């Protein structure tokens, strides 16, 4: 059984004991429903530190009322087994009451990198993320914390808040884990029907197509437009965005050839399931 | 000479060394221009902890463009001498560039207790306070932090954010230090002309009058109205607010007799100087 704590006090006691013994601590915050992507972050943590704490908390404040908070998959016992096998030392699985006590009234927000892309498509999302991640990092006080590049914009938001709030932690991005056909692993892939799952492989293929088109000198705006049309043809019913942006600032690129450091970002819908992905250009 | 550090790294090294030696650390954040009120907080810190760190940072983000950021008194050498005499162990005096590095984009905000009173009169004030105090507490990581009850609403905002962000610090309020005639000590009292300084004593006298009137059974609304009239008669040119509110939630009280735990709050102007004060009913 993986050691599990559910309160800030218990978490702090465990981490403080490790630190007092001179051990480095990595944290891997998750919303559970773990897959190989999460587990690769745990292994990355283990490569950088002596101890890895994973957290599982499906954070209500980063879902809008019409989004999938209730439906979001939860399977703690299975998750705990996977984490233990991946080398995780401690699971922190707080209750909503532990995270948001009565009278809770504080929020952390980040301007700039949180504004385009998912910041436009999901207006309350990054406020919820910034607040809960600030809390998790302050609660655990790890030396390093690891977040997947699959949620690349989230990674940039978290790097910014950790720097700005002087949190004594190094934020590290872990590469996106992909299925055999290139689809980025995501807990939300479980929502897909068999037919939708086949169509979904067009998402990474389209991003690769954009990268090749840009390498061949196609202007950014043309490559974006062509890719959006491809996704609709493949069977995606809505594309929230498919945009090439600067990989650090998320600034929009000009319509001409892509600049160095660019990254292509996509969010698109298959039925009621929203999938996101991104790749370095 | 009082030991002085100007970077987060130097501050952390000093505090970590004390903690490693088993010493308890108190922090007293200030904007400098110190008076007996600040020094009483340092002594209170010394009574609760082995070491006291005072910070001096005139935080630009809690002043609106038309407010007195540029004019706010600054006297670090004099302040450092006073702090040393009061038993302070370390002065942390960061630059604005250290506090707000390039690309700074994060803010901490508190709803509820930050909204009435100064939250209405100075709409950007508590956002700036909440962000900079979060940063100072994360930078220093003290066991306790001490704030004056003179800025009572600020004390409530800071207690709330420390609780909500799980900062591992106990927030303690220090009693308001007063001059011989009862005027609350404030760095802004230095702005007053000799004549204004005489008039200013009407501020605490009026609050005492409210408390006596409430004790005698006068309804809250009547006591408030009478007190505002008294301040105008005494020579105050504007009263931002004079209100009796709950001392924990800052909820407005009914118009009838004051409830237990009530507190009376005032902000009023003498010429271009804004003075605030508050007392327990």
Question: Is residue B132 domain-shared with residue B243, that is, in the same domain?
Answer: no
* Residue B42 contacts residue B172 (beta carbons within 8 Å): no
Question: Is residue B75 domain-shared with residue B157, that is, in the same domain?
Answer: yes
Question: Is residue B221 domain-shared with residue B267, that is, in the same domain?
Answer: yes
B179 belongs to a structural domain: no
Question: Is residue B121 domain-shared with residue B222, that is, in the same domain?
Answer: no
Among A174, A196, A224, the domain boundary falls at A174
The whole-number pLDDT of residue B254 equals: 76
Q: Each residue of B78-110: pLDDT tens digit? A: 999 999 999 999 999 999 999 999 999 999 999
A256 belongs to a structural domain: yes
A206 belongs to a structural domain: yes
Give every strand in the sheet of A51-56, ordered side by side.
A4-5, A90-92, A51-56, A25-30, A144-148, A170-174
Check CB contact under 8 Å for A163 and B108.
no
Give the residue from A107, A153, A250 with the most B CB atoms within 10 Å of its CB, the best one to mutate. Answer: A107
The model's pTM = 0.96
B100 belongs to a structural domain: yes
To the nearest whole Å, the CA of A273 is away from the closest chain B CA by: 31
User: Per-residue pLDDT averaged across A154-163, rounded?
Assistant: 98
Q: Each residue of A80-138: pLDDT tens digit? A: 999 999 999 999 999 999 999 999 999 999 999 999 999 999 988 999 999 999 999 99
Active site residue A38: yes
Check CB contact under 8 Å for B106 and A109.
yes
B168 belongs to a structural domain: yes
User: Per-residue pLDDT averaged across A238-254, rounded?
Assistant: 94
Q: Which residue has the higher pLDDT, B253 or B233?
A: B233
* Average model confidence (pLDDT) across chain A: 96
Question: Is residue B12 domain-shared with residue B129, that is, in the same domain?
Answer: yes
* Residue A55 contacts residue A140 (beta carbons within 8 Å): yes
Among A174, A206, A238, the domain boundary falls at A174
Give the residue from B97, B101, B106, B250 with the most A CB atoms within 10 Å of its CB, the best one to mutate. Answer: B106
The whole-number pLDDT of residue B42 equals: 98
Contacts of B108 in chain A (CB under 8 A): 106-108, 165
Burial category of B180 from C-beta neighbours within 10 Å (exposed 0-12, middle 13-18, buried 19 and up)? exposed
Query: For residue A211, what is the domain's CATH number?
Result: 3.30.1300.10
A182 belongs to a structural domain: no
Q: Where are the alpha helices (DSSP H) in A69-192?
A: 76-85, 96-99, 118-121, 125-140, 152-164
Structure tokens at B156: 């409530």
Domain ranges, residue A69: 4-174
Q: Helix A76-85 and helix A36-48: axis angle, to 10°?
A: 40
Indicate if the pLDDT at residue B260 is higher than 80: yes
**Site of tokens 């992909």:** A178
The whole-number pLDDT of residue A259 equals: 80
Query: For residue B135, what is the domain's CATH number?
Result: 3.40.50.620
Number of compact structural domains in chain A? 2
User: Per-residue pLDDT averaged across A238-265, rounded?
Assistant: 91
Among A125, A147, A174, the domain boundary falls at A174
């Amino acid at each position: 059984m993986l050691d599990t704590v559910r309160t800030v006090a218990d978490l702090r006691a465990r981490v403080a004991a490790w630190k007092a013994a001179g051990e480095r601590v990595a944290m891997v915050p998750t919303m559970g429903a773990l897959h190989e992507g999460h587990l690769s972050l745990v292994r990355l943590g283990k490569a950088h530190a002596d101890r890895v704490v994973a957290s599982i908390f499906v954070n209500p404040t980063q879902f809008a009322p019409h989004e999938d908070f209730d439906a979001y998959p939860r399977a703690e016992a299975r998750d705990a087994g996977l984490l233990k096998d991946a080398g995780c030392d401690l699971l922190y699985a707080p209750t909503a009451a532990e995270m948001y006590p009565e009278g809770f009234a504080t929020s952390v927000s980040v301007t700039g990198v949180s504004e385009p892309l998912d910041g436009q498509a999901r207006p309350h999302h990054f406020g919820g993320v910034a607040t809960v991640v600030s809390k998790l990092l302050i609660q655990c006080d790890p030396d390093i914390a690891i977040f997947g590049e699959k949620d690349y914009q989230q990674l940039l938001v978290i790097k910014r808040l950790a720097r700005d709030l002087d949190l004594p932690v190094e934020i590290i991005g872990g590469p996106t884990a992909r299925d055999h056909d290139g689809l980025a692993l995501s807990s939300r892939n479980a929502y897909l029907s068999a037919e939708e799952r086949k169509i979904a492989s067009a998402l990474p293929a389209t991003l690769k197509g954009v990268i090749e088109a840009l390498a061949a000198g196609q202007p950014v705006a043309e490559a974006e437009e062509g890719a959006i049309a491809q996704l609709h043809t493949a069977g995606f019913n809505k594309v929230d965005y498919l945009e090439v942006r600067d990989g650090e600032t998320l600034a929009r690129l000009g319509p001409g050839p892509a600049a160095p450091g660019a990254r292509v970002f996509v969010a698109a819908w298959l039925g009621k399931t929203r999938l996101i992905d991104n790749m370095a250009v």
